[in-house]
Chain A
Amino acid sequence: MTTTGHSIGKAVPRPDAFAKVTGRAQYSSDITLPRMTHAALVRSTSSHGRITNIDTAQAEAVAGVVCVVTGRDMAELGVVDRHYGLTVLDQPILSDDLVRYSGEAVAAVVAETAQIAGEAATLVEVSVDPIEPMLTVDQALEGATLVHPERESAGSDGANIAAYYEFADGDVEAALAGAHYVHEAVFRFPMVAHYAMEPHCCIAAWNGTDLDVIAGTQQPFKVRSDLARMFGLQQNQVRVRVPYVGGGYGGKLLSKYEPLTVALAWKAKRPVKLLLSADESFRTISRHGSVVTMRTGVDADGNIVARDTRVILDTGAYADKGPGVAKKAAYRAKGPYDIPHFRSVAMAVYTNKVPAGAFRGYSTPQVVWAGESAINEIADHLGIDPLQYRRDHLLERGGDFMPSDTPMDADLVGGLQLAADGVRWAVPAPEGRGKGLATGVKDGGGGPSRAEAEVRLLADGSAEVLTGTSEIGQGAHAVYTQIVAEELRCDPARVTPRLPDTATSPFDHGTEASRSTVLVGNAVRKAAMSVADQLGEMVERLLGTRRDFVIEEHRLVFDDGSDAVLAELMARDRNLPVTHEFELGPIVSLSYHDTLVSGKAPLGTPSNFYEVGHGAAEVDVDRETGRVELIRYTSVADVGKALNPQTCAAQDEGAAIMAIGHTFFEEMVFENGELLNGNLAEYRLPLAADLPREGMGVELLENEDGPGPYGAKGAGEAGIISMAPAVAEAVYQACGVRIHDLPLNPQRVWRALNEATTQPGPD
């Protein structure tokens, strides 16, 4: 391989690719332990009510059933704290009093086979005294009943508020009152499903007093910490291993079913595997449906003087990541413009529906749907081309995304121009078609966190890189091997990444917020540089002079063409006979990277970088049916430096394709609190045929201006941010209707077209 010493930025095949194309890659759901039993869950059919009885007798009598567990068993099982979550610990392993949504697990059956468990679970009878369910955020805020009666509402705007945040500067009311024009609208974003192809899966086994957990989780160290706290263990008694994960997108963050599976294994006294069906994962976690009310004021010259935003997020029955999602919604609602007067309020509101949590982009797609639609409409009102309007008003490099936070680190106008070029912005769209664009920005890398990495150069010239990053498909491990290869000047194919195991992996906060390449990547690079330094010093000790070299297989090849066997050098350096190569062990370094902390930054941690996604769309609208076809789409991600360009582009393109879902057709539909389309027969996902007719364009902006290794910024979320407002503007340009509710499905577009024909046109 010719990439030795030059692996960064190259088309290096992914280290997991061979295992994945041969079917040998192991996922949690593929693993079987000796004496393992299988669990099936009993789910509530009631949306809200008090459990009066759970009759498990019939299920327990089934041959092959090991045990049946309900919320009432928790105390007996020695559970110290049965609740988990992010900052609001409101979710019980199994509830023993209230059921809070239809689909909530209320009992579990453990049996010799999954089939027996599943059949026995249908025999468990759950009696519930119904309570009026809160089915919409408006109803919940009015508060006829409380989803969590034991909790106080977190805001004064109403009942059932799980978390409430506000960020403000200046005097927004006065500025709006004095504005030349105020744009005001309400924007709705649907609740959507992650649908990771691999449903949630966890295997738990008690080995003596220690706990061994195998799970498809994005956050093994968080799971370890939760399990230790909840079961009264020391953290070193809990081991969490993460094989390959069949997709995450945020839906496998925090603890999900790990505490329950551990409780089941405790009661069963045998290893337990809990593997959900896809339909059950639909009823586990979702993206927050939202209502964003936004007022944006401009002066006579078109400058934005004020923006007032109120975001209401439907967090469902449990808070999960809702508080974080709400905080970031408030933080990002102002958008990438210099606005002297703003107020952004966001709240996560409990309802009796499937919980909502983290989902690729966090709350950015929801607030950018509103914010960028508003910008498009303001430009239209002022008679200015939306690209030109953004050229005049987008933040410049160094500008304030938010006061006292990291200055804008990207060339926003340059990036947007690339997106516009992708749909030939300057060429007018033909009849029946339209073009639109948008710019979305999120602070990247998440909150305060530590990332660690260990690099080992083995005596045969191969290397290992150990991190706590879950390989959920994003390709972080590919990037880590390339960083190590770059610093050690070796072939990346000779570097093996190790999947997370809390017993042996260095610590990491978790696989989220586009943080792995930047934060863990920095730790990997530091560790690799330290190993390279140790190697260089060894060579200097032995040869009496510092020399440049590369590692080729088991040899060091020096700049003058001479070479030496690494193991022989290590043996000489350590005064061991070379016959004892096995005794040499590795050259090792463990390094870490901590996020900065600043008392001045509004979030406490300055943004690590800004994750910027520009989108430009060309659509065709069929006026007869309301069907919108995506003709062209270009996504531009400002990635600083693409360490593995193919993987980086695939991530951004994948995010944009995911956005096709919420833009055009995805929506979880509820009736009386029951999810009607929680299966793939009724919930449509983007397919190959949904690609834009002329292809999906992806441009990576590489100005090497990020804080990660080699100037990288985080990636993988940008592409999902800007599609909806870009497409909505294109629809307006094509047929003159403005739509503020997603998805832009044919029924909605057709209805808007029909209403428009009976009313005056847009201009």
Chain B
Amino acid sequence: MRIVPFLCSTAITIALVTLLDNSLGKIPPLGSFLSPQYGFWQNAEPINQDYGGKLLLTGIKGPVEVYFDERLVPHVFATNEEDLYFVQGYLHARFRLFQIDLQTRAAAGRASELAGSKAINFDREQRRLGMVFAAENALKEIEANATFRSFFDAYTAGVNSYIEQLTEAALPIEYKLLQNKPEKWSNLKTALLLKMMSKMLSAGTETDLANTNAKSIFMPNELQQLYPQVPDSLLPIVPIGTEFPKPAVIPIKPVNADSVYFNNKTTVAAQSLDRPDPGNGSNNWVVAGTKTKSGYPILANDPHLELSLPSIWFEIQLKTPTHNSYGVSLPGSPFVVIGFNDSIAWGVTNSQRDVKDYYEIKFKDQSRSAYWFNNQWTPTKMRIEEIKVKDSLSVFDTVAYTVFGPVQFDNSFSNAAAADRNLAVRWAAHDPSNEGLTFFKLNKAHNYADYEEAIRTFTCPGQNFIFASRTGDIAIWQQGRFPARWEGQGLYVMPGEDSSYLWQGYIPQQENPHAINPARGYLQSANQRAADGTYPYFIPGSYITARGVRIDNKLAAMSGITPKDMMELHADYYNISAEDLRPVLLANIQEEQLQGKELAYLSIFRDWDLMASPDSKGQTVFQCFWDTVQASIWRDEIERTNPMAPWPIEQTTIEWLLRDTLHTYADNRNTPAVETLAMIVTSSFKKAALVLAAKEAEGKLVWSRYMNPSVYHLLKDALPAFARKGLAVGGYGNIVNAIKHSHGPSWRMIVHLIDGIEAYGVFPGGQSGNPGSRYYDNNIAAWEKGEYNRCWYMRENDRTSEQVKWVLEFNKL
């Protein structure tokens, strides 16, 4: 033996293996990651992969057959419901494991386990918002119903059945990159997933903290002008003229509300770190047989959410001998969430209602162990939160719970330095509820009565459930458990020292805004206020008016409607806000002050066809110009407090301009001169022209280049290669085809309720969450072009059809 060379080469071998077995910063362990047998190569699925097979599993009662079609949509045929949801859980895990694991960990405030210390504040806010508290409350309600619990149990067993057989090589690629392992599923995780949706759709629809700052600088009449409740141009969900019954609940305004609440001028420094996009909206509409060519109703829905890869939706058909539903499911939860069966179709949009309020808490001392409530010191419940951090020590946080809810902001947690205020959050999502039950019942519903019974218990996030049946009924309900508020309740931080400012009750379910078989033959919702000013309850929210007006105008004018007409409406790029605004803006531009490029942009704007199409330059000029106008009008006003008061919503500004009554706000407070609207509009155009010229130099004057529509991977900028960027689509938040940079129609569905059901659907992604699969992004091209896949609604005798590409059989071990 040659000792020295032997020892040297052995040492180098060991050192090299060790080096390659460990991650270096963001770089995964190169040895295992590049190993063709263990690493990412194992995630490169053969493009002719066979998804069929035979599985023998415990936890399943009888045989279940899964028929995959050419788009990898599973059509699950089970003999009973437990087996059905077991297999749905298995399939969600098989194709979306990293997604469901990441989303539920993030929902529970455990993102730091994967992302490290940069996610600590996100995690603390999740815990302080009471996300786990909310999921636990929901789970108690869910598990109180033994039958329903068995579905959750079966779903959980299905997910775990897949996880348990996973080898290192078969782990999703994200785990290999992040050096982590999937966690076992539980019913609590399913509840957390649903709370993630609650947060997405009902935690960003209020601006109470910013409103409180607005109240410190604006007079009550100004607040009404800047933040009105009912827009002039509103076309509500419930047709105008509908009579509402006398309210059964009449909340009483506290006697001291004027002095300690409305006239309280104290500002609040706290701000949410992770505020959900208030544009998490959606469209849905339904036309009755009287307006369609076939004589049967057509239902359409397109939920607008953050667009991600993998998609938030997973297409699936769920069949037992007693029901047969098809649509999209949320990976991490059983049931079809938006879809149809052989009798009905349903869809949802967000209600945009404010169901989250803040209360100011007075603690006895620094320990936060007691707070002043109804004239005595009341003990808080303390919840100690351990946040585990990747590559670091755990961080501990203590959250005090009051009668209102958890104290989200206090001196140990706030983004702002001046954290001397203790704010407890009262959020409808904290209340015990079982939203899954609604979807379970909808999956099996036969008619209007079943639908109404199914949605009745749905609590949070409030949704506009639209409905159509084979028998010709159409309907919509804005459903949720909404607080019955006195006028102005919950717009601002409320006093939390006694019970007088608590929610006094809820709007009775039967009084929720709804409409059934209207004479006009259509119903629509697009995140607008559900009812006009005659609705007898105070219902603040973050409403969007423009899309609903456009959809209503189009549907009113249509007749002999076919599914193709509905596809065209989904793809509609017409900018109805610009239709209103262009004449006002053009009338106020002092053209003699413009020169060169500015004049060129002005003529683009003037000649624009009002379409926000991908190749439009007019839309780019308009949006850039209009954003500058809004900033010029409002910034000087709302920046008088820090943090800022909320921006008045676009619709408010449009209506002020149309009424020509904006003059006092047009003036810039920060300059000695008195600016007129014409001066503001002209200087805004000049400012916008500079931005536009810079964009034009980069070749980005065309709308789709300017907006850069993109679908990101769930880990965003950490994995840019897994994103699909620069899609050739137009649209905007105020446009029916509501595509923004990385946000928009996450599932477009059209269901024609003829015999046999004719349904179409598409989402910008694919069934598989694996970037190494051809089914990762295979639907993006169709979505981009506004095309649809025909949903194959399989029946019992289709088992041997040529449309079946693979069969996966489950049997009891």
Check if A and B associate: no
